Amino acid sequence: MRIYYWPLVLSVITCLAADVYIYRAALKRCAVRFWSKVQLYTGAILYMLLLVALCMPKRGDNESAFITVMWMLFVFVSVYASKFLFVIVDLSASLPMLFHRSRLRAVSILGGVLAAVVFVLMWWGALINRFHTQIREVDVEIYGLPEQFDGYRMVQFSDFHVGTYGSDTTYVSHVVDCINAVGGDVILFTGDIVNRRTIELQPFVKPLSRLKARDGVYSILGNHDYGDYFDWSSDELKLQNMELMDSLQKSMGWNLLRNEYVMLHCGSDSIALIGVENVGDPPFAVYGSLERAYPALGDSVSKVLLTHNPAHWTSDIANNDTVNIGLSLSGHTHAMQIELWGVSPAIWRYPTWGGLYKDNESRHQMYVNIGIGAVALPMRIGATPEITVITLHPAK
């Protein structure tokens, strides 16, 4: 875990400012001093929690310290997200005082209610909704798809981030059961199996090896799978981390595609399944090469592409007449782990953040799976963990 000190210092100063504001408001508005004391003491406890989290060791082979830090930071963030919201609303309630009028007490009360709602939502997202798996059925029509692939079912899942679960295999086993119950023809994983390094995957090898489909399980790597988020003491250790990733996925019976393709067969017909390594927009590193994975991109063969970051489709495939890829499958966005009424803040970063997208002539399509796991904050507000069943049809 890398710590960027200036943003951290500014964040703590902002938190302190919110605490001072709420403390002074409690002193002024509450007849009983109990509430101002609660604000003072809980604030002190939370800053001690933050200090302990930042001082805990971030290296070593034990991932439990990392998970402990994650939950400590979540406690802190959940409280201060609520406090910030209250302060913003309460300041708006005080605007009439600039014109020598009374503060809008009802707006202040509304701020308190909204702050409580945000706190409850965050913990509901962490303790309940994060494990509420949703299966989405999607029909996709592809120009030039061989007739015998009409009705072919591809089961996609993505962004598992298994390190967030520590060594508890309960939920991972549940997801495996859900995927197997769907009965797809092929199972496809579109990257980010871990958070920082491959050893996080070891407790989950057995349950993940139970995934079965007629045409097998295929996977690609995401930006988290290369070990770029861990402070390695040598390049050799980072290389060993990648070798272990290859080895574990092979032991699970998964076919890891690293800038390569395979042919999937249905009767006498076939389509190409292409898997590229991560092609990221800044600041994410570029490891993939579509041209190396499948040199004849403009040929007449029907193709399905696995590419972790949807920005790859937007920049290199959509509206590109030299590329004949009817369907791309991506993940990466998580819908920023927040989606309410079909709207996600992820749209500020990725216009293609979740669901099915088509270019101008609908010849290049992409489905973005919003993922199973969580990273950074262990919660999902809306944006429920997704398993996608994609049924292919020839376009008429």
pTM score, whole prediction: 0.92
Residues 120 and 258 in one domain: no
Instruction: Say which amino acid occupies 19.
Output: D
Q: Is residue 285's pLDDT more than 80?
A: yes
Q: What is the mean pLDDT of residues 78-103?
A: 93
Q: Is residue 62's pLDDT more than 70?
A: no
- Structure confidence at residue 6 (pLDDT): 77
Q: Is residue 147's pLDDT more than 90?
A: yes
Residues 156 and 303 in one domain: yes
Q: Is residue 78's pLDDT more than 50?
A: yes
Give the range among 18-22, 207-211, 249-253 with minimum mean pLDDT: 18-22
Residues 73 and 152 in one domain: no
Cis, bond preceding 283 (omega within 30 deg of 0): yes
Percent of the chain past pLDDT 90, that is, above it, reads: 83
Residues 177 and 28 in one domain: no
- Please report which confidence band the pLDDT of residue 320 belongs to, taking 50, 70 and 90 as the band edges: very high
Q: Is residue 60's pLDDT more than 70?
A: no
Q: Is residue 168's pLDDT more than 90?
A: yes
- Structure confidence at residue 355 (pLDDT): 97
- Structure confidence at residue 14 (pLDDT): 93
Residues 365 and 388 in one domain: yes
For 104-221, where are the alpha helices, taking DSSP H only?
105-127, 170-182, 205-208
- Structure confidence at residue 1 (pLDDT): 43
Q: Is residue 58's pLDDT more than 70?
A: no
Residues 120 and 165 in one domain: no
Question: Final residue of a domain: which of 127, 153, 183?
Answer: 127
Residues 180 and 109 in one domain: no
Question: Final residue of a domain: which of 59, 93, 127?
Answer: 127
Nearest residue to 205 via CA among 172, 180, 182:
172
Q: In this structure, what are the phi and psi dihedrals at residue 224, rounded to the nearest 5 degrees?
A: -80, -15
Question: Final residue of a domain: which of 127, 143, 175?
Answer: 127
Q: Is residue 350's pLDDT more than 90?
A: yes
Residues 140 and 270 in one domain: yes
Residues 174 and 109 in one domain: no
Model confidence pLDDT, tens digit, residues 25-40: 988 888 778 878 888 8
Q: Is residue 106's pLDDT more than 80?
A: yes
Distances (CA, A) of 268 to 147, 184, 390: 10, 19, 21
Q: Which helix (H) or strand (E) holds 247?
A: helix 235-251
- Structure confidence at residue 282 (pLDDT): 85
Give the range among 20-34, 87-101, 148-162, 275-289 with minimum mean pLDDT: 20-34
Residue numbers of the domain that contains 145: 135-394
Number of domains in the chain: 2
Q: Token digits for 104?
A: 């809008």
Give the range among 46-55, 253-262, 263-272, 370-379 with minimum mean pLDDT: 46-55
Residues 121 and 258 in one domain: no
- Structure confidence at residue 61 (pLDDT): 58
Provide the CATH number for the domain around residue 318: 3.60.21
Residues 120 and 84 in one domain: yes
38 Cβ contact list (under 8 Å, min separation 6): none
- Structure confidence at residue 337 (pLDDT): 97
Instruction: Between 361 and 308, name the one with better pLDDT.
Output: 308
Mean per-residue pLDDT over the chain, rounded: 94
Q: What is the mean pLDDT of residues 321-337?
A: 97
Residues 107 and 142 in one domain: no
Q: What is the mean pLDDT of residues 243-247?
A: 98
118 Cβ contact list (under 8 Å, min separation 6): 81, 82, 85
